[in-house]
Every structure is written in structure tokens, then in C-alpha cells.
Amino acid sequence: MSQFENVSVVKQANVYFDGKCISHSVQFADGTKKSVGVVLPATLTFNTGVPETMECVAGACRYKLKDGDWQSSRAGESFSIPGNSSFDIEVVGEPYHYVCHFG
């Protein structure tokens, strides 16, 4: 499924790290919130509040959970980050397109 149906989308984007990561917030009829976004080539560290699952839609990244090793994620793959934690993400070459699932 390449698109979300019957959702609301916030017009203003979320811009992180001077635009190295840009996302738009999406909300489903049941109140579930996700975001659709892009990480441009960069190495960034993100903090989580609630747990997150990063689903790769296109491109690829390497990521490292706190106290974890570097691993890869590409289109069709996902990785999950605990709440109140952090992770490093490295994108090289092409942008990493993602859906972020919360909770």
C-alpha cells in the first residue's frame, strides 16, 4: 500500500536538524497518529518519547539503538525504538523515506 487512505494531514511540516529530516503528521479516523517523512543524507540522533517504529518506504539507512550495534534498514523493513530512548540514523546517497508509527 503506497498511500494512506481517509486520513487527515497537517499542512505544516515538522522540520528537524535544519531540514535534514522533514515529516508531515497524519491522523487516522481512530485517532492513531503517524508521520510520513524523509531523512536526507546525514547522520542524526533522535530522541523518542513514546516508542516508535520506523518503516522504510524507499531508500535505506543504517541505524543504531542506544547500546546497540549499527544495523541496516531498507524499503519494506522496519525497526523499533523503545520510549524515552534515542537512536542514531545514518543516510548516505539517496534519501530515506519513512513512515513513523507511534506507541
Residues forming contacts to a second copy in the complex (CB under 8 A) are 1-13, 15, 18-19, 22, 24, 26-27, 36-38, 40, 57-58, 95, 97, 99
* SS3 of residue 97 by DSSP: strand
Cβ distance to a second copy smaller for residue 37 or 81:
37
Torsion of CA 47, 53, 54, 55, to 10 degrees: -170
| CA–CA dist 44, 39 (Å, integer) | 9
Residue closer to a second copy by CB (options 75, 82) is 75
Q: Judged by CB, which is closer to a second copy: 55, or 81?
A: 55
Kindly state the smallest distance separating residue 69's Cβ from a second copy, in Å.
28
Asked if 24 and 13 count as a contact pair (C-beta separation under 8 A), the reply is yes
Q: Which is nearer to a second copy, 12 or 31 (CB)?
A: 12
Among 6, 44, 70, 72, CA closest to 23: 44
Nearest distance in Å: CB 37, a second copy: 7
Q: Which residues pair with 35 in a beta bridge?
A: 25, 100
* Shortest spacing between CB 70 and a second copy, in angstroms: 23
